[in-house]
Amino acid sequence: MSLTKNEILNFSEFCKNNNYFIPIDQLKVFFEYKNLKNLKNFEKELLYLFLLIPKSREEQIHLKSLINRFFKYSIENNDSSSYSLLNEYSHEDNNLYDIISDLNEGNYENFNSLVKNIVEKFGDIDFSRPVSNDYWLNKIKKSFKYEETMMLFSNYEFDEISSMTNLINKNKFNNLLDIKILEILNEERNKAKDSYQPSELEPKAQLGELDFLYTDPNERRVLLEQTYKLGNKLAIKFKRHIKQASKGKLHFRKTIRKSMQTGGIFQKIIMRPKLLRKPNLIIACDISGSMALYSLFGITLLFGMVSRFSSIKAFVFIDGLTDVTKTLKKLKKNEIDSVLHNWNSYVKSDGHSDYEKSFEDLIDQNKKLNSTTKSLIVIGDGRNNYRNIPEELINNLYNQFEKIYWMNPEKKKYWNTGDSQIRKFERITKTTSEVRNYNQLRDFVNNIDFKKMLK
Amino acid sequence: MKINDLTIEALEKENYFATQELIEVVNAAIFLDKPLLIEGPAGTGKTFLAKTLSTLLNLELIRLQCHEGIDEDKAVYEWNYKKQLLSIQKSEKNENLFDEKFLIKRPILTALTTKENSLFLIDEIDRSDEEFEALLLEILAENQVTIPEFGTIGGNENRITILTSNSTRELSDALRRRCIYFYLDFPSIDIETKVFMNSIDDIDKEEASKYASLVSFIRSLNLNKIPSLIESVEWVKYNNSKNKESVRSNLGILLKDKSDQNKYIEKLEESNEFNQE
C-alpha cells in the first residue's frame, strides 16, 4: 500500500484546518525524496512525512498527533520497555523472576493468566451499574490478590542502586498491569448483556488546547517548560529599540580597522550604537483561590520574564501586593511551585482577592519608586468577592500606566457574572484575552505589539 | 554528493550509537543535498555525529564555532590590510588591491571553495546573533557567497552541511525552512546500554541496562540540570570499578546541582522505605 498524491493533499488540507500549515516547498521536498528513493511502503512514507516536514520540536509533536488522527497510524518512538532482572528476584519461592524474564522476551502468556486470575478472584462485576471501567479498576486495586501481586516486589535486601531499579521495575509493572486489567474489563463489558455503556469521553484535546486545569503532571511539566520559554520571549518583546543612527561611544577596534584601508589615516570614526535595551515592565499575578492552577502558569511566566531581565518587576497579589522579583530570582526552574506553598505569607488580611487594595498598592509602589514604567501585564480573573471597585482607582490606574494587557483565565462566557468586575478594567486595557491553555497564551504573547523607539 | 546510504552498523563501528530515525534523516539530507539542522539538549552527541561522519566518509571537517558577536570578518572572509598596504608601497603600478591573494579565507569561504570532499559543521548556531543567521541564508540556499569588491563566489557541490543548536534561542523560520530538521533527544535505554558496554571495560549487559534504566529514570525527575551522556558514562565507570555502597558520595559526578542531588536522595530513601515495608 502506498500513499497517493491526493491523500497527501487531503492531509495537507486537514492540517490547515487544524492550525498547522505545511508550506508547499516542504511538500515538494517530500515528493522529490519519495520519487527519487522510490518509496512504496506506507509506513516508511509516513515516517518520512514526519521527518522531513516539521522544522521545530513543537511542530513535530503537533504533526505526529495529526498523522495519528488522519491516517490512524502512530509513529512510535520504539523506546525499550524491558525490565532489569535482579538476581534477588529468584531467591524467594515466588515466580517473579519467571514472569519478568518472560515479559522481557515478549512472552505474555503467564502475565495474562496472572491478570485474569486477579480479575476473577475479585469476584463478579456488575456491569449494569452506571460506573465506568476506572471505577472497577480502583476497586480491583484494593483487592487482596492485586496487593499480593504487587508485594512480589518488596521484602528484598538490596544495595542502593538495585533498590532504585526495583522501584522502577515496580512502577512499570504496575502500569502494565492496570492497562491489561482495563482491557479485560472492556472485553467483559462488551460481552455482558444490558451493560451500562459509559458515554465516550471526547477525544483528548491537543496538548496546546488542553485546559491548564485538567493537565496531568507529565503534561504540566512539558507545558510549564514551554511557558517559561514564552516568558523569555515576552520579556524581549518589551525591550526598547534604539535607532541605528544615534551616536554612542567610540568603537575603537572598528575605527582602527577602518583606518587601515587608508594607510593608517583616520578618515571615518565609527561609533558604537547606544544600547538601552532593558525593558521597563511590571507584571502582576493574582494567586488567590479562584485562580487555582492557573496561578502556577502565571508565576512560571513571571519567572521566565524576570530571569531574562533584571529591570522587570514581578508582583503577586491576593488582598495586597507583594514584590516577588527577588524571591523569584533566587529560585531555580524546578522550584517555582514553592511560591505557592508559601501562600500564607502573601495574605495581608483575609485571604480573599481584593483588587482595590492590590492596585492601590501597585500605584503607590510605582509612585514611590518614581518609576517611569508605563507598561503593565495583569494575570487575574477580576473577581473581587463582592467588594466595590471605585471609578477613581480605574482612572488612577489609567493615568499611571499607558499600556495595560490583561490575561483572564476564566471562560469568556462567565466574564461579568457574579462578582466578576472585569468590565471595569476592560475599558482601560489595550487587550483583554481569555488565557486558559497554552495556545491562547502563545497567541497572547505573539499578538502583543510593543515597540518603543528611543531617540 | 553521491554517497551510499549509511547504516546503524557502520556508525557503530565508529563508536556512534544512533536510532534508525536519525540515520534516515542523515541519509535524506545527504541525498537531497540539503543542510541538516540538529537541535537538542547539551551532551547528546550532536557535534560528535558530525565528527563521526567525517571520519566514516573520509571527509575534511571544517568547523565554525558560533559565539555572540560573530560577524562576517570572522566567519566568511577578511581583506589582508597589511599585505595590501605593503603591496601599494612596493609597486609603482596600479595594482588591483582586491585580488584573491589579499583575501583571507575564513571557515565559510574555505568550505565553499575547498576541492576535497568536506563536511561543514556550524556548531551552536543559537549562540550567534540573529543578524548572523541572515548571512548564512545565501550560503545554505544558493551555495554561494557575495563579496562586494570581488564578485560572487560559487561553491562546490561536494559538501555535507550540518548545523547544531542547543535551542537557547528560537531560530528564524527562514533558516529552518532551508534545512532538514531533527530533534536529538537524550538516548533511549537501549542505546545508552550499548554506549555503556562499549566505553566501559568489564561491564556485563545486565549491569549496563540496569544503570541505563536508572539514568533514564533520573532524567525523568524534575531536575535543573539533566545529566548528559558523558556524565552518566563517567558515573557508571566509576561505580563499576569501585564499590557500589558509596553511591551517595560520588553523586557529584552525575548531578551537578545541590537541589537535584537532594531530589535524588529523597527518591532513594523512598525506595528504601518501600523495600522495608
Chain A residue with Cα closest to B32: A33
Rounded Cα distance, B74 and A415, in Å = 56
Taking a contact as any Cβ pair under 8 Å apart, which residues of chain A between 243 and 262 contact chain B? 257, 260-261
Local mean pLDDT, 10-residue blocks, chain B (277 residues): 80 88 89 90 89 91 88 86 81 77 89 89 88 85 85 85 86 87 88 89 83 85 85 87 68 85 83 69
A201-205, A234-238, A329-333, B228-232, range with greatest mean pLDDT: B228-232
Cα A401 off chain centre by: 30
Mean pLDDT of A218-240: 81
State the DSSP H helix or E strand holding residue A45, giving kind and residue range, or none if neither.
Answer: helix A42-52
The 3-class secondary structure across B125-178, one letter per residue, is HHHCCHHHHHHHHHHHHHCEEEECCCEEEECCCCEEEEEEECCCCCCCHHHHHC
Instruction: Give me the residue spans of the domains in chain A.
Output: 5-71, 87-191, 224-238+276-454, 250-274
Count Cβ neighbours within 10 Å for each residue of A156-181 and write b for 16 or more, e otherwise: bebebbbbbbbbbbbebbeebbbebb
State mean pLDDT over A225-246: 75
What cell was used for A134? Answer: 476506572
Chain A CB within 8 Å of residue B268 CB: yes
Grid coordinates of B98: 582586491
Candidates A37, A167, A224, A226: best to mutate against B (most CBs of B within 10 A) is A167
Stretch A294-316: mean pLDDT: 86
How far off is chain A from B10, nearest CA to CA, in Å? 21
Q: Are strands A312-317 and A321-323 parallel, antiparallel or unpaired?
A: antiparallel
SS3 assignment, position A317:
strand
Cross-chain residue pair A52–B180, CB shorter than 8 Å? yes
How many helices (DSSP H) and strands (DSSP E) are in chain A? 18, 8
Mean pLDDT of chain A: 80
Residues paired with residue B180 on neighbouring β-strands, in sequence order? B36
Q: What's the pTM value of the predicted model, to 2 decimals?
A: 0.73
- In this predicted structure, what is the pLDDT of residue A261? 78
Q: Which residues on A lie below 8 Å from B31 (Cβ)? A: 33, 36-37
Q: Chain B contact for A330, CB < 8 A? A: no
- In the block, residue with C-alpha cell 529468584: A90
Q: Å from B158 to nearest chain A CA?
A: 19
Q: Which of residues 378-407 of A touch B (CB under 8 A)?
A: none
Q: Do A334 and B39 touch (CB under 8 A)?
A: no
Residues of A in contact with B223 (CB under 8 A): 334
Helices (H) and strands (E) in chain B, counts: 12, 9
Which residue shows C-alpha cell 560573530?
A: B70
**Cβ contact A36–B257 (<8 Å):** no
CB count in 10 Å sphere of residue A74? 11
Q: Where in chain B is CATH 3.40.50.300?
A: 8-183
Phi-psi category of residue B38: left, alpha or beta, with phi > 0 → left and psi -120 to 50 → alpha: beta
Residues of A in contact with B188 (CB under 8 A): 77-80
- Closest residue by Cα to residue B46 from B124, B100, B106, B103: B124
Per-residue pLDDT, A172? 81
- Taking CB atoms and an 8 Å cutoff, what residues of chain B touch A261? 81
Can you give the pLDDT at residue A76? 67
Which chain A residue's Cα is nearest to B247?
A160
CB B53 within 8 A of CB B59: yes
A355 to chain B, closest Cα gap in Å = 34
pLDDT of A19 over the 80 cut: no
Cβ atoms within 10 Å, residue A376 = 24
Smallest Cβ distance to B245: which of A51, A155, A159?
Answer: A159
Least confident of A148-157, A191-200, A399-408: A191-200
CA distance B107 to chain A (A): 21
Give chain A positions within 8 Å (CB) of B24: 47-48, 51
A397-441 pLDDT, tens digit per residue, is 888 888 889 998 888 888 888 888 888 888 888 888 888 888 888
- The pLDDT value given to residue A245: 56
Q: Which amino acid is at A2?
A: S
Query: With contacts defined as CB-CB under 8 Å, which chain B residues touch A55?
Result: 37, 173, 176-177, 179, 181
Q: What integer is the mean pLDDT of A161-165?
A: 75
B47 phi and psi angles, rounded to 5 deg: -70, -35
Complex ipTM > 0.85:
no
DSSP string, A253-294: HHHHHHHHHTTT----PPBPPP------EEEEEE-SGGGTTH
Percent of the residues in chain A that have a pLDDT greater than 90, as a whole number: 0
For residue A212, count other CB atoms closer than 10 A to its CB: 24
Reported confidence tier of residue A206, pLDDT bands at 50, 70, 90: low
> Other C-beta atoms within 10 Å of B122: how many?
26
Cβ within 8 Å of B, A 45-84: 47-48, 51-52, 54-57, 60, 77-80, 82, 84
Cell of A378: 495583569
Interface test with A, best of B209, B240, B253, B265 (most A CBs within 10 A): B209
**Could you confirm whether domain A224-238+276-454 is CATH 1.10.3720.10?**
no
Q: What would the pLDDT profile of B154-172 be if each residue is shown by its tens digit?
A: 888 888 999 999 877 778 8
CATH number of B8-183: 3.40.50.20, 3.40.50.300, 2.60.40.10, 3.40.640.10? 3.40.50.300
CA-nearest residue to A25 within chain B is B177
| Residue A262's pLDDT band (cuts 50, 70, 90) | confident
